[in-house]
A and B are shown apart, each in its own frame.
Chain A
Amino acid sequence: MTIKGKAYIAGIYEHPTRHAPDKSTAQLHAEVAKGAIEDAGISKDDVDGYFCAGDAPGGAWPMVDYLGLNTKKLRHVDSTETGGCSYIIHLGHAAEAIAAGKCSIALITLAGKPRTGVMPPRAAGAEVDFESAYGATTHNAYGMCAMRHMHDYGTTSEQLAWIKVAASHHAQYNPHAMLKDVVTVEDVLNSPMISDPLHRMDCCVVSDGGGALIVTTPEIARSLKKPLVKLIGHGEAMKGPRGGKDLDLTYSAGIWSGPRAFAEAGITPKDIKYASIYDSFTITVLMQLEDLGFCKKGEGGKFVADGNLISGVGKLPFNTDGGGLCSNHPVNRGGMTKIIEAVRQLRGEAHPKVQVKNCDLAIAHGTGGLLGVRHAASTAILERV
Chain B
Amino acid sequence: MPNTPTRQAAGHLLTLLQLTDSALPTGAFSHSLGLESYLSTRAVHDEASFTLWLEKFLSQSLAYTDGLTVRLAHEAAGGEKLARLDALVTAAAVPRQIREAGVKMGARMLHVATSVFPTPELEAYRLQVESGACSGHPGIAFALGAKGAGAPCADTVAAYLFSTITSLTQNAIRGIPIGQNAGQRVLRAMHAPVLAAVETIFTLDEEDLGAAAPGLEIAQMRHEHLRARMFMS
A binds B: no
* Residue ranges of A at the interface with B (Cβ–Cβ < 8 Å): none
Interface on B for A, CB 8 Å cutoff?
Answer: none
